[in-house]
Amino acid sequence: MTIDPLRTSEETLEKYRNYVNPSIANLLKFAGFAVPEKDASGIYIRDLAGNEYLDCVGGFGAFSLGHLHPRVVQAVQNQLQKEALKSHYFMSTELADLCELLSEVTPGDLQYSFICNSGTEAVEGALKAARAHTGRPVFVGAINGFHGKTFGSLSVSGREVYKKPFYPLLPETRHVPFGDSAAMAEAVDERTAAVILEVIQGEGGVILPPGGYLRDVRRICDERGALLILDEVRTAFGRTGEMFASEHYGVIPDIVTMAKALGGGVMPIGAFSAKPPIWHSLFDANPYLHSSTFGGNPLACAAAVAAIRATIDEDLCDRSAALGEKLLSGLQEMTARHPAHIKEARGKGLLAGIEFLLDDFAALVITACGRRKLLVAYSLNNPKVIRIEPPLIISKTELDRAISIIDESVSETAKMVEGLG
């Protein structure tokens, strides 16, 4: 059966209006993206109208291996021949293999892992583990931090606009400016269960921690008996040029959360890993104190094992570091040419951001890139920043093309804005 792209687009938009989310329907229509996605492979996404886009959103970190990486697809297909979901009555070799592998690749002495289905669930589990271990009530997060949108994760996230309609959230949470060691020292005390931070704030606009900051936070937590949770949902598995971003800063958390790239761009999965004493507090008295029906399912575990092995075998951490330098220098050269519109370009590995002086300028650049068939990301907690997070398998030539499209889009937007002024 042949599909009429125009008709299918209109029908799908109508279904979005009536059954999915009318406001997203309007936004997509306005931005010129009211066409269904058709398929994707490698670093390209194709829509039903026959357009092919270079994907530098990378699923906000989920497509580190690109779309449909053959090794991950094969692992999932093999598993599907055997069993899709488990009964939970018996042990799971796939789950055991993944948790063993995570203990090898996670930093320091993190040993045990709980497998769930998303980033926000990983954060929820980490917060519960910190409560169970310390018996303390308070969580400290960072202003503009992003940890997900379920109640616990939202409570420790740091942007009011996403929180206010849902109050009351977790009662005892405090937020301090990211990067300010003195503010952290003041906020953490003997009532603090854990500090939770992203290593590099993603939705906050690609904010890197100042030198020594994470070590200071580690020391403050140790001195006061609080745990340190590092949220690497976006940064784990090579995104920043190391397997885990915390490795750049020489800091080992008590608990690390991950998701996104863990599924190899094929399966949804999340996880949190912790040091053994935390696991004893969480599970010794009751092995089912924290559990999930779908978490740790064999399809997702098989995908994750294949994804981690592909990341190692294809040297994607080094690749991300090297290509990241190229990306950043390209963006910084561009910044120097547009001082009236760009404040700064920054990043680590293949996680880069451009901060514009105006919110609307960022949105216009995203749309202008889209017209040139390049996808770049909006930042939920810092609308002045666009993010560039390509799959780590992107080639140098494709990266050059992305940089020059961003450059053209910035120049076009600058001309338009100056023309209005």
The residue assigned the tokens 């001195």 is 223
The CA-CA-CA angle for residues 149, 289, 220, to 5°, reads 65
- Residues 102-131 touching ligand PLP, rule: CB under 6 A, are 118-120, 123
Q: Starting at the edge strand that comes first in sequence, how are the strands of the sheet with 138-142 ordered?
A: 112-116, 270-274, 255-258, 227-231, 192-198, 138-142, 173-176
Closest distance of CB 174 from ligand PLP, Å? 19
Site string for ligand PLP, 138-157 (x = CB under 6 A): --------xxx---------
Interacting residue with ligand PLP among 60, 283, 294, 378 (CB under 6 A): 60
Interacting residue with ligand PLP among 131, 133, 218, 234 (CB under 6 A): 234
Closest distance of CB 152 from ligand PLP, Å? 11
Q: What is the DSSP string of 51-87?
A: -EEEESSGGGGTTTT-BS-HHHHHHHHHHHHH-SS--
Residue nearer to ligand PLP on the CB measure, 234 or 348: 234
Closest distance of CB 393 from ligand PLP, Å? 21
- 266 binds ligand PLP per the rule CB under 6 A: no
- 66 binds ligand PLP per the rule CB under 6 A: no
Indicate the residue whose CB is closest to ligand PLP: 119
Which are the contacts of 10, defined by CB distance < 8 A and separation ≥ 6? Answer: none
Q: What is the DSSP string of 299-345?
A: HHHHHHHHHHHHHHHTTHHHHHHHHHHHHHHHHHHHHHH-TTTEEEE
- 259 binds ligand PLP per the rule CB under 6 A: yes
- 382 binds ligand PLP per the rule CB under 6 A: no
Interacting residue with ligand PLP among 233, 261, 321, 374 (CB under 6 A): 233
Can you tell me the distance from the alpha carbon of 313 to that of 302, in angstroms, rounded to the nearest whole number? 16
Q: Contacts with ligand PLP: how many residues (CB under 6 A)? A: 15
- Residues 288-327 touching ligand PLP, rule: CB under 6 A, are none
Interacting residue with ligand PLP among 158, 202, 264, 353 (CB under 6 A): 202
Distances (CA, A) of 68 to 64, 371, 395: 11, 25, 17
